[in-house]
Structure 1
């Protein structure tokens, strides 16, 4: 999660909010790939979580990264909570439980994306290893209970922590005990945005199955292939999950704005201070609901940008599209997730094929698939066959899309190789989660401790 936005332009009308989203439209030659990945820091000695303070804490890790990279610090109430590259090309931030996130630069190719990820992990190891810290690539914290998990000193997280138990049973688990890999992708127009959002919304449960990687909680098996995906089913349903209106044939920017206007806010920032605004929607804010309680209590474009960042549908629309369905995972998955979506969405013929494959899928069908995937994974039944068969078709489309992009590295290889981890999942017929469960029952001897060796960065 990147730095919260400051933009003091006042909002006069709802049309301006629609125009804000539409302004993200870019010609195809300006489309980029922005990859985000989170991981759990832990102490090598004892496999315990890393607190913020202390000689070997998160703060020391961030300060070490700042010296190494020369990036600008992001502060909250005088405490360093992240770093940003001086020209805005990338940021490092903290999730609520100390999950360490790289929000990558906007890059042209998957080769660049993979180099960026590898460089980040190498830099992180250089700083972290002398502190006795390593990082775990899973979708959920496998060992530590919520009460064992440290809290990062970010004001927005204090507000969310108080609010989440009021609106769902798993909000705090989502905040403190999950990790994801995401990719942010561009669109050319409202029509292009609609096609990409509809295709990716329908296929998001498939991505969840392919990347399922969170079978452990509280030190043992939790019964899920993606516990992370399961907890999103009851986190804050006003702002998360599948959006039915996205399936409408005329879906557009205005529909997303109308939905977002009626979702309760988390906060506004005034004079560097976060104000709890969970009692009002953005529409009420525009109507003057905060005039008496917050200085400058009318909305700005910065408030709107921040509000959009607190909405959590499976595919999020900002001035780009965010694919949000995948668990965190090992380093090869950091490249595989953007490869999957770029192959499907950035090639015209691939997008046509993906649209043809999925256009008849109803909201109810996709919701049913979404509900089953956390337990069943690729064995989920969809239209009288297993999702694994759909995965074969979709990966074939993505591969052809990447071939046609013909983005080659110095050795002459195109981007299709980044799909290999997903090809392996489909060929085996078992997800990473199932492989870990099998290891737990056999060579791990009923212990999850080996996960800290085999799935660490």
Structure 2
């Protein structure tokens, strides 16, 4: 039985609202995933073995990364920066390698952190005959070809996912993303940022689209990764119509989370399968998986990580709409959203781009960009035109922010690749397809040679 007081709804809400902080304390975090591959066979590395994921995690510890274990398995690494903020390296279900960067003050800092990480990864990977690739969807291998990592929550998710959608296992095993995490000052500020970024997430999807291949051939999509999310689990994904409704706030999101079925609860280092069960029942001590037990705040925090909308709320907002890609685009995503979020006139200008769209527009656009990219249309405008405006707004926001590197250069340079993509109207995926039909002579394996980090 529980030895602590029941959680209150106000505590659940406070777990998110307590993230509000004054503008002077705002930071930006970047996360990115990448596919490992054996340079000889191009196959994804397993966990064990002389050149497996465990060997990668072990090798990286020479750079001051501390090990994190679960059930006797090394599953992650952590390292504090000079300011005491923690970055981590973790494993996705199919061994995708993820850097969850520390919350940093500028995009210059983020790009430096990312560059140092990729250099460390490359040094260890070269010794193990491994390479790493940034792309939104595995270009070569089937689900069955992908080794599964020894993390308890993934076993539960793998058995539950197929009950809710046909592509959930692809999401787990064959996708990689770039993510940016940003702060808010108040509930009203959170709402403005959530609405604007959720509406514009498909524009970012188009700008970053980089997953046109599946199992060695074009798949008909520019972002197969974004398409996967349209058929993963409708309970916990999508455009969240309630965000655009009057009265939206922290309480609304908490109720959404309470109504989203659970995956698991963690007890004594073990994951307890609670898939499909109700957190509301848990709060009453009526969870079938743990009868008589009451949840802790850690249970609630864990549950929030199992929601997968295009924008996710924790004690900050997570932008989740972009395919994995090269170093330059890992730096570009936080620059895009930082420029919009951290300058009030820019946030207002970005909302003007999308404030008249209705939920049908949002849903249709989310699906259309997976195939059409910048050629998709919404409310009489092409996504390319909106993307040009969006990047220009972010650029002005970064100029207004005025965060200099060495006193010389502000953060606008990190948007240059997105400016090129938007101006040309050609997504990264379409450039890959041009190579496939041209120089690569229909040989997808060339992506590992030409685009590895």
TM-score, structure 2 normalization: 0.97
1:343 maps to which of 333, 336, 339: 339
Contact 2:353 2:386 in 1 (8 A): no
Paired residues for 1:37-56 under 5 Å: 37-56=32-51
Structure 2 residue 60 is the aligned partner of structure 1 residue 65: yes
**What SS is found at the alignment partner of 2:320?**
strand
Distance 1:227 1:450 in 2: 19
Deviation at 1:356, TM superposition (A): 2.2
Distance 2:219 2:394 in 1: 32
Contact 2:135 2:211 in 1 (8 A): yes
Structure 1 counterpart of 2:119: 122
Deviation at 1:284, TM superposition (A): 1.5
Structure 2 residue 143 is the aligned partner of structure 1 residue 149: no
Distance 1:63 1:150 in 2: 18
Structure 1 counterpart of 2:242: 245
Deviation at 1:233, TM superposition (A): 0.2
Deviation at 1:355, TM superposition (A): 1.8
Contact 1:161 1:172 in 2 (8 A): yes
Which runs of 4 or more aligned residues in structure 1 lie more than 3 Å from their structure 2 counterparts after TM superposition? 8-11
Distance 2:269 2:434 in 1: 50
Structure 1 counterpart of 2:368: 372
Contact 2:30 2:178 in 1 (8 A): yes
Of stretches 437-446 and 353-362 in structure 1, the one that deviates more from structure 2 is 353-362
Structure 2 residue 400 is the aligned partner of structure 1 residue 404: yes
Structure 1 counterpart of 2:426: 430
Distance 2:381 2:249 in 1: 32
Distance 1:362 1:439 in 2: 37
Distance 1:257 1:385 in 2: 34
Of stretches 355-364 and 226-235 in structure 1, the one that deviates more from structure 2 is 355-364
1:304 maps to which of 275, 289, 300: 300
Contact 1:208 1:229 in 2 (8 A): yes
Distance 1:123 1:71 in 2: 11
Deviation at 1:396, TM superposition (A): 1.1
Residues 371/293 of structure 1: CA separation in 2 closer, same or farther (3 Å cut): closer
Structure 2 counterpart of 1:5: none
Structure 2 counterpart of 1:4: none
Deviation at 1:9, TM superposition (A): 6.8
CA RMSD of aligned residues (A): 1.3
Deviation at 1:385, TM superposition (A): 2.6
Paired residues for 1:103-122 under 5 Å: 103-122=100-119
Contact 1:142 1:214 in 2 (8 A): yes
Residues 136/318 of structure 1: CA separation in 2 closer, same or farther (3 Å cut): same
Residues 320/296 of structure 1: CA separation in 2 closer, same or farther (3 Å cut): farther
Distance 2:415 2:134 in 1: 18
Residues 9/95 of structure 1: CA separation in 2 closer, same or farther (3 Å cut): farther
Of stretches 191-200 and 268-277 in structure 1, the one that deviates more from structure 2 is 268-277
1:182 maps to which of 165, 179, 200: 179
Distance 2:314 2:255 in 1: 14
Distance 1:357 1:235 in 2: 29
Deviation at 1:331, TM superposition (A): 0.8
**What SS is found at the alignment partner of 1:47?**
coil
Deviation at 1:88, TM superposition (A): 4.9
Distance 1:296 1:399 in 2: 54
Deviation at 1:10, TM superposition (A): 4.8
Distance 2:352 2:437 in 1: 42
**What SS is found at the alignment partner of 1:350?**
helix
Deviation at 1:382, TM superposition (A): 1.5
**What SS is found at the alignment partner of 1:85?**
strand
TM-score, structure 1 normalization: 0.96
1:13 maps to which of 8, 14, 27: 8
Structure 2 counterpart of 1:92: 89
**What SS is found at the alignment partner of 2:190?**
helix
Of stretches 226-235 and 272-281 in structure 1, the one that deviates more from structure 2 is 272-281
Structure 2 counterpart of 1:416: 412
Structure 2 residue 156 is the aligned partner of structure 1 residue 162: no
Residues 74/39 of structure 1: CA separation in 2 closer, same or farther (3 Å cut): same
Deviation at 1:359, TM superposition (A): 1.5
Distance 2:349 2:419 in 1: 19
Structure 2 residue 325 is the aligned partner of structure 1 residue 329: yes
1:225 maps to which of 222, 226, 234: 222
Structure 2 residue 72 is the aligned partner of structure 1 residue 78: yes
Contact 2:285 2:292 in 1 (8 A): no
Structure 2 counterpart of 1:205: 202
Deviation at 1:293, TM superposition (A): 4.3
Distance 1:229 1:26 in 2: 31
**What SS is found at the alignment partner of 2:50?**
coil
Residues 441/195 of structure 1: CA separation in 2 closer, same or farther (3 Å cut): same
Offset from partner CA, 1:5-32 (integer Å, 9 cap, x none): xxx9754311111111110000001100
